[in-house]
Structure 1
Amino acid sequence: MPRIRKRTSRRQTTRERSRFHHKINESRRKERKLAKKNPQWKSRHPKDPGIPSSLPFKDQVLAEVAEESRRNQEEKRLRKLQKKDASHNEPEEGSGDEYEERDISSTVEIEEPEPLLYDPSIPHLAAALEKADVWLYVMDARDPSVHRNLYIERLAIEKAKKIIFLMNKADLCPREVLQKWLSYFRATTPSIPVIPFRVSSSYLPIHVPHASAPKGIRLGQTDAIGIKELLDRLNTQTAATSSGPVTVAVIGLSNSGKSSVINSLLGAGRLEAYEVNSTKLSSMTTTILPQPVQIKRDGVTLNFIDTPGFAFQGFETLVLRNNVTFQHVRDSIVRCRGQIEKMVNAHQAGWCLRYSMAPLLTAKLGTISVLAKWIISRSNPQDLIVHYNTPAFMHSSPSSFLTGLARVTGHRKKGGAVPDAAGAARSLLCDWRMGKFPYYTHPPAYSAPSSGPFSLTTESDDQLLSSFLTREELEKHNFRAGLIRLDPVAPEERSVNLEFVQTFETREPQPRPAKIARSLAGRKRVRRRLKAARTMNMKMTKTTKILTNLQH
């Protein structure tokens, strides 16, 4: 007779139970037998199989491993000696030296640096440029073309001002690429001096690997690279000027390192610099107003003016509603203030939308992917594949790279089956913002002068470039995942609003969309019903207890 209904009992026969127990015991016996044969059964750490003999360049790999081990041991020994010397230099308890030092410290007044004050005669960038004798244009050495502004260069020629290109963050760029950029600027703009520069290690981000700052060691505030060449160039201008100290205006885009350059020249962190992991968006630039600073080096007095980042003309009339242009994306990526990967609508972006800083208009995938695709479209596909260990993709299809990156990083949509391309785009933007996306660019093609003997680089350039590392050395010591080469872009040609002054506005609370309001109202209604049901259940429980007590 066929079974009428589904079987509800889990009872089994004794034969089936004994068969299951027999299989379990057999599998455990087999595991114990294999564990006895395993030579690593006593250790929790797996044994290092070593480098196979069939691997090419085995001797070179072993030599590199031994050299790295030796370097780590040397650094450990130096740190131990420094700690020992510091402990020996401290005065012993109860000794007379300690009391003498206390008496001296109580009588001698410690000179504190004078506070930096704003100059009301320099209210904006135009006044700073008019007052300055030299314009120090700070740009990122990894991608100088993006930071160049042809309008500023033409303005310097019109006003007969001296201008110097300072290629900051040169320690993140390979040495051979730096040499190419120097040759490019010497050939295209021979009248403008170019100096590679790296700020003092005290002002380098701790979490970003740097070639000249060993891990865990802060070298100091006066170890900037290129500071001698910069001061020599400014001293030459001082000798040519008889009216008094030379005034230098430090200009450039936001987050190019203007304040850190002045701090390196001062040897103290007097000016506030932008922090990479900062989430606040109170202003479009860290330096709100031009800040004059006086520096005395080697008997020469120099007046520096730290200026705000460029604000381009016409940002008030930009139509940003559902209209993301190339300039919006470029400004958002280059300036990169705040957590751009988390700003998904106009309310969260705040004032950034008004200044063409963040084209994040909707909460859809399209907005986040636009920023990520701008980076992917400029990147070399082979370098991206090696850095992120993703499968091959078509360079004309950045979406395929985001899909592969989502699979590698584990970004999945609800259910775990479909890759989350938006999550992968946020991860890529976070790497860009935190400095974990190591990149560089080659200069565009140019024609070198052909008539007469002409050298694009000098011996002083070679001596300065020797302080920086090549691409192979950078990938070996700092960026083990590999560097990523970006395609160069054309310099910026938009005019700069020289009289722009940053203002602070309190943001009023924005009204919630109708869909979100309805969902919140539904949740409140459900909470009220659950609370009423709990109250009724408690009352019924109390009534049941009273009746039970009365019956007894």
Structure 2
Amino acid sequence: MAKPGKPKSKRTPVRLRHRIEKASAAKQRKQRKLAKNNPQWRSRLKKDPGIPNLFPYKDRILYEIEEKNRLKEEDFRRRREEAKTTKAAQSAGQAVPTEDDINKEDALSDLIDDEGMDEDELDDASNPMSALLASARARAAEYEGASGEDEDDEMDEDVSEGDVDVTATSSFPTSGPQPLETSRRAFDKVFKSVLSTSDILLYVLDARDPNGTRSREIERSITAADAGSKRLILILNKIDLVPSPVLKVWLTYLRRYFPTLPLRANNPASNAKTFDHKALTVKATSETLLRALKSYAASKQLKRSTTVGIVGYPNVGKSSVINALTSRLGSSRSSSTACPVGAEAGITTAIREVKLDNKLKLLDSPGIVFPSASTPGPSDETIPNFSKKQLNEANLTLLSALPPSAITDPVPAITLLLHRLSRSQATLNPLLEQYDIPASTLVPSGADGDVTTDFLIQVARKRGRLGKGGVPNLHSAAMGVLMDWRDGRIRGWVDAPEETEGGESGGGREIVKEWAEEFKLEGLWGDDGGDQEEGVDVMKE
């Protein structure tokens, strides 16, 4: 009992507050535990929502962003190369040219151009600028020599991936997909390097248009190299995108010139419209090719390994051929890591060496648009208002030899595609079913009707490729059609030309028969005789 007159304490119990704090701490611990076990954990950083489709000038903004990233990457690589060169020169005890030396040399060059001075006057000992010019030239020569030595060191670096030895043996073209002009300039470097070091050349062709991805000049160069000691095999890739009758005719036609093997290098893309050739599977065709290469290597009994070079147009499946061969070695890792592949052209940017075993070595080369190739498309193909240059670029686009970033105007390629597919109902009907459009779309409306524009408008409306105000985006619709064509969602092919008597230079039945015996192709779909009927039977759908 409180004493009278003493004030009552104002302190209150804190049991309730402690209970609330303990419950809150327990709840937070439980939430943290659940968050760790939650597979849908997300970062606190907000994801960039990107640019809305209805935003005006979206394509231009995306192009500027891509160009800025490309320039930044090139600057980073340049700085890294300069750092490597400087380090190599310092370790070798050589003088490294500084920026002041380079600026002085540029200033001297400007002085010569502006003042009209002759270089002999600057080289004169009485001229006080001659010593400066000589010093700058000496520094520049030392810089170039150190850079060349550094590049040679990089070419000798070996990388071991999985169970297959992989080596990057060269670095041209430098990086990224190459434009047409650059690709043709790099022809002598890449092709001649592969040709000089290879015993067997695998020329990979697209089964949908073999002649479009074939160069007769390349075949003549291979057969004439080293007094005819090189061997050439034509590889008809992507055979699952053409029907059996078309494949049979192409194999018969190509085997009149060189040994030809059908190949399915990898599985098709999602939703691709493929044909089932039964025995011509990825496993069966790749084993056939590997067995033929090993037979040739064993018959030659060389003290070194037999080198097999793989050449062809961009995106015909050269790297996929190597991956298919390495997958037959019983290694699950080698098939996915030997060579990087992708749907776009320009994935392979350097000559890449893959060692299968002690007797066989593969060389993967970047895709090249070979000069002096066959006429784009069928020989009788002409399109009104199309120049030869436009027809060539449109044909390269349909061959997927150009990456999407290098396609400035896809509409001519769509015109060429419609022109080819409209020749037969077997290819026209699947196209109309793919986009659910009526056949009347491909009929010109009026005197000035444009079939391509009408087709792209229908595709843009069906696929939601609309711009501001609901206006159809023809460029986006055309790119979507090209992507469907590249991935095999649109059925289409070029028929083989009619057979004529005789053969062209660089090939013939004698070569086919002689080389087929060396590779032991009898019964392996490579002969052109009586056993060919057996190969025909297995290709029925």
Report the TM-score when normalising by structure 2: 0.49
1 or 2, which has the higher helix percentage? 2
Report the TM-score when normalising by structure 1: 0.48
